[in-house]
Amino acid sequence: MDNPLIEARSVSAAYDSGMVLREISFRIMPGERVALVGANGAGKTSLLLTMVGILPLTSGTLCIGGIEFGAGLSARDPQNKRKLKELREQVSLVFQDPEDQLFMPSIYEDLAFGPRNMGLDEDAVRRRVDEILDRLGIGFLRNRSPLRLSGGEKRLAAIAAVLTMNPEILLFDEPTAFLDPKSRRNLMHLLQSLPHTQLIATHDLDFAAALCPRTILLLEGAVFAQRPSAELLRNQELMDQCNLEAL
């Protein structure tokens, strides 16, 4: 049997205001697509932020693509710069707010940023950017400023910017927020077609059920259940206990 690509062992984390994640443990196998659900404030975004080294752990261990880190890894500590760089080559997060992701003068520049940093020549960068724009159906945004896009357009551009980096592991925070039905369906087909290991935080339970064979359910910063999505998301009692509505 394969080893897990992602393993969280008793992960806890805190903001200045107090504890946010409590002893979270789970494993994700290579190529798995897993949904992360929970009510507002349950800790989904915070958990994703720990996995890219933005929110430091207070205790426990995360092992992601062979890179292991615990409470010592902080983005503020220059000694950990190399480890963080290695981590971010393996795992990318599509932020809940696309404006955290897009900062260049044009969408093309935003999408080219990652591959250029990885040392690809300009021809290869252009081919990769155009392929991703095409797959997401947003070629018309190529030369637009990210500041002047609709909510859904920004979301798709932010997803595209992560895909051009082509990490092994993709983390999504509310990927369907702001998307119209057709863009949502396109995104579903795209994520389904990707071989990457994916963890998808979402309130869109139909999306989770269609895309993710397994779901991790959070309540107040802790794992409340992790089970096959078909069973968990339809389990009225469990979902009620977590202030969610079952499918």
| Interaction site with ligand ATP (CB under 6 A) | 15, 17, 20, 38, 40-46, 96
Q: Please identify, using beta-carbon distances, which residue of 132 and 223 lies nearer to ligand ATP.
A: 223
Amino acid at 134: D
As measured in angstroms, the least distance from the Cβ of 18 to ligand ATP is 8
Q: Are 67 and 83 in contact (CB under 8 A)?
A: yes
Binding partner of 15, given ligand ATP, Mg ion, none, CB within 5-8 angstroms per partner class: ligand ATP
CA distance 68 to 179: 35
Residues that bind Mg ion (CB under 5 A): 44-45, 96
As measured in angstroms, the least distance from the Cβ of 44 to Mg ion is 5
Strands (DSSP E) contained in the chain are 6-15, 18-28, 33-37, 57-64, 67-69, 91-94, 169-173, 197-201, 214-219, 222-228
As measured in angstroms, the least distance from the Cβ of 99 to ligand ATP is 15
Q: Please identify, using beta-carbon distances, which residue of 12 and 202 lies nearer to Mg ion.
A: 202
Q: What is the 3-state secondary structure (H, E, C) of 152-197?
A: HHHHHHHHHHHHCCCCCEEEEECCCCCCCHHHHHHHHHHHHHCCCE
Q: DSSP code of 2?
A: P
Q: How big is the CA angle at 226 (ends 224 and 228), to the nearest 5 degrees?
A: 140
Q: Please identify, using beta-carbon distances, which residue of 20 and 199 lies nearer to ligand ATP.
A: 20
Binding partner of 191, given Mg ion, ligand ATP, none, CB within 5-8 angstroms per partner class: none
As measured in angstroms, the least distance from the Cβ of 35 to ligand ATP is 13
As measured in angstroms, the least distance from the Cβ of 11 to ligand ATP is 13
Name the closest residue to Mg ion (Cβ). Answer: 45
Q: Please identify, using beta-carbon distances, which residue of 17 and 193 lies nearer to ligand ATP.
A: 17
As measured in angstroms, the least distance from the Cβ of 46 to Mg ion is 8
Q: Please identify, using beta-carbon distances, which residue of 101 and 164 lies nearer to ligand ATP.
A: 101
Strand, helix or coil for residue 23: strand
Binding partner of 41, given Mg ion, ligand ATP, none, CB within 5-8 angstroms per partner class: ligand ATP
Q: Are 41 and 50 in contact (CB under 8 A)?
A: no
